């Protein structure tokens, strides 16, 4: 459900994630951190903000000024980067809460991108068996994907997001003006997830993205606001139908099985959205060589990703490494790969795939050295 509401300062779009008694709003608008008392009127006295130094320098002051004067505020800054999604960082945040005598009526606010949100969400899910959690995403990728839907996780040396829980926030506050400080690569990573929604769910939205790619790349406010809102609407619809990823929600993992393999081996040089983009192209080529996706659709996918300066080729990895990393994917059942595969622009399916040579052939077609 999508609506608009007026706060004391501006009009805010509001999308409801419909999960019965655990339903929650996604607020979208400009300069929303100055309006937290209107948007989050029921914050408790004990509040812990999990963030990083880069984000804190831009936004922490504005948020601190909006919190109740009587609040007991903790700020825990974690390191930048995927390596911060670790058991050790998780333990450090827990230590902060315990040493400050925070009780189960406290709230955790995640102020940052996907790494901050994933880690803070797992802390909220597990501290004293669960405390209130709020997402304040500051990157495009987090705004359109990771902040919505309740997936929380940290990484393990054996793979990405292997330790986690489903735990829904009480609200998501998306302040679109945050994107003005986002570096180009991180911005492009968010666009990769936006493209994903068009491929798996809404062909008309994909066409709109094609028609407006220049405005989006230039960070046009009006185009971005629509792209963020439509992406959140799609994710909210999917999560409301399949919160625990038993079926439909798995489609949101388009490109992720391949992408996580790339991230695991190239975590210093490839970012999540970049790996997902390359993984999406592999999935498209797999379906094209199976005769189930038209070459025109493959070309449209590659062209749109390229227009956002996202990679459409995968880095070199040995066949053994590809197999090892993909077998650790959480969708694997009884040792068999399950891949999200586009059948046309606007539709995709989750399928069990046993023909590894066909998968490897698609990977080879989309690998840098093969071009």
Q: Does 256 count as an annotated binding residue?
A: yes
Q: Does 178 count as an annotated binding residue?
A: yes
DSSP string for 275-309: HHHHHHHHHHHHHHHTT-S-HHHHHHHHHHHHHTT
Residue 243 annotated in active site? no
Residue 151 annotated in active site? yes
Beta strands in 117-204, from DSSP E residues, in sequence order: 132-137, 151-156, 159-166, 171-175
* C-alpha to C-alpha distance for 326 and 340, rounded to whole angstroms: 13
Check 52, 76, 155, 193 and give the catalytic one: 193
Q: Does 265 count as an annotated binding residue?
A: no
Check 196, 213, 235, 330 and give the catalytic one: 235
Residue 294: how many other CB atoms lie within 10 Å: 14
Q: Does 180 count as an annotated binding residue?
A: yes
Q: Does 181 count as an annotated binding residue?
A: yes
Check 52, 76, 151, 302 and give the catalytic one: 151
CA proximity to 366, closest of 260, 259, 273: 259
* C-alpha to C-alpha distance for 50 and 107, rounded to whole angstroms: 11
- In this structure, what token pair is assigned to residue 245? 């990823």
Q: Does 48 count as an annotated binding residue?
A: no
Check 196, 229, 230, 260 and give the catalytic one: 260
Helix, strand or coil, per DSSP, at residue 198: helix
Q: Does 198 count as an annotated binding residue?
A: no
Check 229, 256, 285, 300 and give the catalytic one: 256
Q: Does 139 count as an annotated binding residue?
A: yes
CA 206: distance to chain centroid?
A: 18
Residue 330 annotated in active site? no
Q: Does 296 count as an annotated binding residue?
A: no
Residue 209: how many other CB atoms lie within 10 Å: 23
Residue 285 annotated in active site? no
Check 196, 272, 300, 330 and give the catalytic one: 272
Residue showing tokens 């189960």: 104
Check 245, 263, 265, 302 and give the catalytic one: 245
Residue 245 annotated in active site? yes
Residue 292 annotated in active site? no
Q: Does 116 count as an annotated binding residue?
A: yes
Check 76, 253, 271, 285 and give the catalytic one: 253
Residue 319 annotated in active site? no
CA proximity to 139, closest of 79, 196, 184: 184
Q: Does 83 count as an annotated binding residue?
A: yes
The residues, any chain, with a CB within 8 Å of residue 103's CB and separated by 6 or more, are: 46, 128
Q: Does 145 count as an annotated binding residue?
A: no
Residue 253 annotated in active site? yes
Check 42, 129, 183, 244 and give the catalytic one: 129
Q: Does 173 count as an annotated binding residue?
A: no
- In this structure, what token pair is assigned to residue 23? 């339903």
Q: Does 190 count as an annotated binding residue?
A: no
Task: Find out whether 187 and 179 touch, Cβ atoms under 8 Å.
Answer: yes
- In this structure, what token pair is assigned to residue 349? 């399916």
Residue 196 annotated in active site? no
* C-alpha to C-alpha distance for 353 and 51, rounded to whole angstroms: 40
Q: Does 156 count as an annotated binding residue?
A: no
Q: Does 330 count as an annotated binding residue?
A: no
Question: Binding site membership for Zn(2+): which residues?
Answer: 193, 256, 272
Active site residues: 129, 151, 193, 235, 245, 249, 253, 256, 260, 272
Question: Binding site membership: which residues?
Answer: 80-85, 114-118, 138-139, 151, 160, 178-181, 193, 256, 272
Question: Binding site membership for NAD(+): which residues?
Answer: 80-85, 114-118, 138-139, 151, 160, 178-181
């Amino acid at each position: 459900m999508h609506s608009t509401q007026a706060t004391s300062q501006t009009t805010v779009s509001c999308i409801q994630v419909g999960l019965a008694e655990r339903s929650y709003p996604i607020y979208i608008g400009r300069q929303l951190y100055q309006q937290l008392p209107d948007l989050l009127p029921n914050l408790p006295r004990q509040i812990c903000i999990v963030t990083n130094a880069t984000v804190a320098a831009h936004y922490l002051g504005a948020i601190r000024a909006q919190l109740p004067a009587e609040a007991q505020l903790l700020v825990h800054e974690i390191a930048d980067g995927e390596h911060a999604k670790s058991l050790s960082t998780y333990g450090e945040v827990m230590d902060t809460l315990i040493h400050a005598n925070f009780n189960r009526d406290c709230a955790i606010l995640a102020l940052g991108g996907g790494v901050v949100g994933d880690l803070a969400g797992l802390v909220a899910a597990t501290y004293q068996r669960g405390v209130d959690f709020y997402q304040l995403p500051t990157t495009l990728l987090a705004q359109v994907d990771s902040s919505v839907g309740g997936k929380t996780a940290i990484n393990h040396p054996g793979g990405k997001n292997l330790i986690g829980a489903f735990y829904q926030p009480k609200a998501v506050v998306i302040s679109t003006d945050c994107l003005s400080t986002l570096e180009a690569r991180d911005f492009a990573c968010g666009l990769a997830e936006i493209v994903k929604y068009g491929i798996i769910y809404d062909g008309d939205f994909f066409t709109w993205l094609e028609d407006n790619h220049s405005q989006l790349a230039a960070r046009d406010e009006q185009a971005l606001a629509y792209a963020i809102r439509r992406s959140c609407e799609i994710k909210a619809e999917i999560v409301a139908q399949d919160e625990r990823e038993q079926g439909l929600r798995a489609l949101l993992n388009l490109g992720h099985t391949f992408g996580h393999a790339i991230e695991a081996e190239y975590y210093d040089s490839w970012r999540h959205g970049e790996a997902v983009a390359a993984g999406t192209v592999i999935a498209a080529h797999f379906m094209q060589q199976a005769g189930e996706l038209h070459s025109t659709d493959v070309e449209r996918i590659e062209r749109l990703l390229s227009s956002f300066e996202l990679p459409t080729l995968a880095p070199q990895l040995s066949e053994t490494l590809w197999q090892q990393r993909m077998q650790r994917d959480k969708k694997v059942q009884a040792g068999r790969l399950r891949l999200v595969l586009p059948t046309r622009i606007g539709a995709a399916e989750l399928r069990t795939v046993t023909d590894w040579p066909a998968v490897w052939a698609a990977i080879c077609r989309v690998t840098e050295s093969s071009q």
